Structure 1
């Protein structure tokens, strides 16, 4: 079975397995799943580099850049722009994200923060109704819920500082895809169908992504995006200036303001990309490098690994009740800390060093009872003094010289607000929902926030995005990341542990079933595929189990013994792991 056919086959089985949601407080009696994704898939291998993304077309564009002499950053920029065309639910020009760039020659890793920012007219209580409740509809679908986009500025910044090729050349493939069209896959039709009601509320989105009757475009249709092709052409000619000061920006702001939005041309002009120092940790002899605040992902990934390092995870076994219990209890406490201590470091002193300390990990371990689950109502954020982010997409790139890019970017929800700015073809984010619209209440992902993440002008909302690079002996060993809202951090955690603790190859590590706990609500979400005996043992310990839909979509690369091992997550059919020497056909 080919990788592509296997991907479609597995995705079909997964969609059937996750069709229902069952909450279990009593022993489960369903038969254990016998199908194992690990039996079907193996990594894509290459000696010349690797590109892994959620869309095979975008991966092939990146691999072609590598084959033509570009480095990992060049390829990452081309992939990011192409995904804005072929993965409209998450690939974007109207959103923002985080990028880790590792430069092999200098052995240096840079964190590039191109997260969206709140407009200048934003204020703390802007999403509260007269009775003090949160206006969820405006946050999710309204024109005031749009953060100032950072994607164009972020990709251009990375290229200018760390790339080798010309901006205009890297945009050409995306222009062709938008202008000439590409054939939709079953995954596109399913995605359009899920977002049909939101896309149908906006005339531009409906015209582009739905048929004349307002139904999802069927797979096999060629999707042409003429307005997006125009925007991309303007970007190729003028660079970011076209977006932040030029005609693209003027069209964006005109449509936003015509519909009651608060963003201005001055907001676009004042947008800035920030380079930050990555957060770093050690886990069983490996160095973990990840994204710092305003991402919460890197901090809590390392915090949880610090706690779990003292347990004999390998001896307990992959997905055993003992292993999962320790991980759940650790996740419970990390997400409690997230609710209180994380925010934009330019506005709030985040206690990073304390959260990452091994001593604090000891304090957390001392609270964990390995025989019983701790009710979340009894778990509070750590008392730390001195205070020093559903749909997203991740892609990973490595080149033959050992340079690496881990990039996660987003519109927040699938298709963001569902609003397309007239005359641009650009979907607009709803990232203002990632702020704490009312401190102490939950956002769309059920995450609780505090004053640290309250709305303020020019502030960046807290994120869960976790682009991560794992190093071994001074060289890149693993590049990974995932979409998934609040589940991103735990998805990356399990991928890293599957590789390090359980010695799985990167595809097997990707394919393993996943689980997630985030402190509140106090239940554990499991994918299908776990042993019923294990779930019953966890229930007996006091965990409330819920079996639900797939968690995350990792796109990962492992570099070992001179070979790049690429793994596209089969949870979304259509992804691709592509090495430059294996390009059998052009994009």
Structure 2
């Protein structure tokens, strides 16, 4: 987690080794070794890493020092985060990894998004003609998708890495065995989920070990069950996860949730089968590409909406000159561009294997010119805006559709926001680079904080609840691109992003935060590229997020609401709702990134304060 004051001495904890004979019993008596606090920024050479947790960042740096590349480092960091940040990043979830291959000068992406079981259909989410209440779906076996994390790691390593899982899972195994000191962030996250976790015997056993309560701050948290699972995967690869004992345990957990005898309510069962796990595939996808003021921007294609929404919003902003406007006026344009981008993202983006996503239209400069007409530079839209029609701007319109005609079955109306579309959804972001110039920007998740709340008994990891990322219209027969279907991957907001100038990388970044991921990355880019803020300052700046909700309001952190710009925006008609701890919510985002400097150095940055702050390191610090 975000442990600025506790860490493990990297030379001891993360020494490269493939030894598998350390007994969990002896590890249980070991104490975590303290280390210097994490720092949110580091500049130097030889490679870099930034994550939310100092242990994960240190694991990545040790891999780089030992000759591994950026992909190897990202997987090692993710493995550690599965232990220290289990409510955000775990092998029961999935993610999107964007990779720059320096030798080939190309960008590729690994989609290991969770997938709907084949027996899942939209009817399971409706009762008496209405959607099942979201809290009932959130904490259930029904919400669990087929995890993609392990297969995604393996595919990324086989194609683009230099090490295998047997090596790269060792840091995570050691942390799981030796434990880590509980900090306030981990304690608070656990405390928020106590009632959910108590529903399941397996979850209470692992995450509520203090007689049904969270481990107190300062205590040592260990997860020997997860260490066992990591060992099985280290020895057997993804096959050990998707077939055999782990797969059987996952299916049993989904179809027969381990509900406590005294649970106050029933828990819905899921429909996952062993064949769903055995047949899971990670996808190698072409990234989406757009340009912005001379920069080239790469992002994830569908089923993530992050790259498409970001590209459209930047195209809209490109029509305005930031130096010709006040900061308040440009922030107004940023909010209105976000509003329009979210309207289109919600209407059109879904799994491309099930839906005709108008990628070329959404990223068309001509479409942005037309869509920009909906922005009033003088005032904010008073409510949610309708989607535009990017199909009219497709480079190669479908022969079954006349240009200018919306895609059949598409809903142009804004759906009410999901009850889960709030700031407390957990995800995490990892950014790495190596001495050869390879770069990874990687967002992974189990969806809600703590996923579905169900831990696989005996294996120590929580299952995702990604099926809640599908849209559920008021009627089960209402058309929408992102409704549940067998084998479908739900739309995501994850937005790992790479920015280039003249063919060379300039910036890699990404963030957690549910749908606020998109606006966090967008506002950081605006702060850095348009408003000239140094990267760490751009990351730390107060945030405001507009996502086209029905009442037209934007969410803003208290620090933003106190600025002169906020007052000026209110005069333009903007309405704000509070976000962040003062409103009982998490802050907006917790970004990590790397800046590639003209002198050949790199600057890694991590969120300095939100969610407890993060950790940035380089292999060879600048003296």
Same fold (TM over 0.5): yes
TM-score (norm 1): 0.88
Q: Which residue of 2 aligns with 1:91?
A: 89
CA deviations on 1:169-217 (whole Å, 9 max, x unpaired) are: 1111111111221212221112111222222221111111124342221
Judge conservation of contact 2:139–2:465 (CA < 8 Å) in 1: yes
Judge conservation of contact 2:86–2:461 (CA < 8 Å) in 1: no
Q: Which residue of 2 aligns with 1:212?
A: 210
Q: 2:132 aligns with which of 119, 131, 134?
A: 134
**Deviating more after overlay: 288-297 vs 243-252:** 243-252
Displacement after TM superposition at 1:274 (Å): 0.6
Distance in 1 (CA, whole Å) between partners of 2:548 and 2:131 is 23
Name the SS for the 1:581 alignment partner: strand
1:495 and 2:524 correspond: yes
Name the SS for the 1:173 alignment partner: helix
Judge conservation of contact 2:40–2:614 (CA < 8 Å) in 1: no
CA deviations on 1:439-479 (whole Å, 9 max, x unpaired) are: 689xxxxxxx9621111101000000000011112111111
Judge conservation of contact 1:42–1:508 (CA < 8 Å) in 2: no
Name the SS for the 1:212 alignment partner: coil
Judge conservation of contact 1:340–1:450 (CA < 8 Å) in 2: no
Q: Which residue of 2 aligns with 1:262?
A: 271
Judge conservation of contact 1:339–1:450 (CA < 8 Å) in 2: no
1:559 and 2:596 correspond: yes
Judge conservation of contact 1:138–1:144 (CA < 8 Å) in 2: no
Distance in 1 (CA, whole Å) between partners of 2:73 and 2:557 is 33
Distance in 2 (CA, whole Å) between partners of 1:291 and 1:257 is 32
Judge conservation of contact 2:286–2:301 (CA < 8 Å) in 1: yes
Q: Which residue of 2 aligns with 1:437?
A: 472
1:352 and 2:354 correspond: no
Q: Which residue of 2 aligns with 1:516?
A: 545
Distance in 1 (CA, whole Å) between partners of 2:475 and 2:373 is 27
Q: 2:439 aligns with which of 401, 404, 428?
A: 404
| Residue-pair matches, total | 538
Displacement after TM superposition at 1:220 (Å): 1.4
Distance 1:243 1:398, change over 3 A: same
1:370 and 2:371 correspond: no
Distance in 1 (CA, whole Å) between partners of 2:572 and 2:538 is 26
Q: 2:564 aligns with which of 533, 536, 554?
A: 533
Name the SS for the 2:498 alignment partner: strand
Instruction: Return structure 1 stretches of 4+ with deviation > 6 angstroms.
Output: none
Name the SS for the 2:445 alignment partner: strand
Q: 2:288 aligns with which of 279, 288, 291?
A: 279
Higher relative contact order, structure no. (Cα contacts within 8 Å, ≥ 6 residues apart):
1
Q: Which residue of 1 aligns with 2:482?
A: 453
1:395 and 2:443 correspond: no
Name the SS for the 2:333 alignment partner: helix
CA deviations on 1:470-493 (whole Å, 9 max, x unpaired) are: 111211111100010010101000
Distance 1:243 1:312, change over 3 A: same
Distance in 2 (CA, whole Å) between partners of 1:42 and 1:122 is 43
Distance 1:182 1:540, change over 3 A: same
What is the RMSD of the two structures over their aligned residues, measured on CA atoms?
2.1
Distance in 2 (CA, whole Å) between partners of 1:440 and 1:286 is 43
CA deviations on 1:489-514 (whole Å, 9 max, x unpaired) are: 01000111212112222111111111
Judge conservation of contact 2:141–2:254 (CA < 8 Å) in 1: yes
Distance in 2 (CA, whole Å) between partners of 1:370 and 1:489 is 22
Distance 1:329 1:68, change over 3 A: same
Judge conservation of contact 1:439–1:450 (CA < 8 Å) in 2: no
Q: Which residue of 2 aligns with 1:576?
A: 615
Distance 1:512 1:312, change over 3 A: same
Displacement after TM superposition at 1:278 (Å): 0.4
Judge conservation of contact 2:607–2:613 (CA < 8 Å) in 1: no
TM-score (norm 2): 0.83
1:421 and 2:421 correspond: no
Q: Which residue of 2 aligns with 1:11?
A: none
Displacement after TM superposition at 1:256 (Å): 1.9
Judge conservation of contact 1:138–1:145 (CA < 8 Å) in 2: no
CA deviations on 1:406-464 (whole Å, 9 max, x unpaired) are: 100111001101110111111000000001133689xxxxxxx9621111101000000
Q: Which residue of 2 aligns with 1:19?
A: none
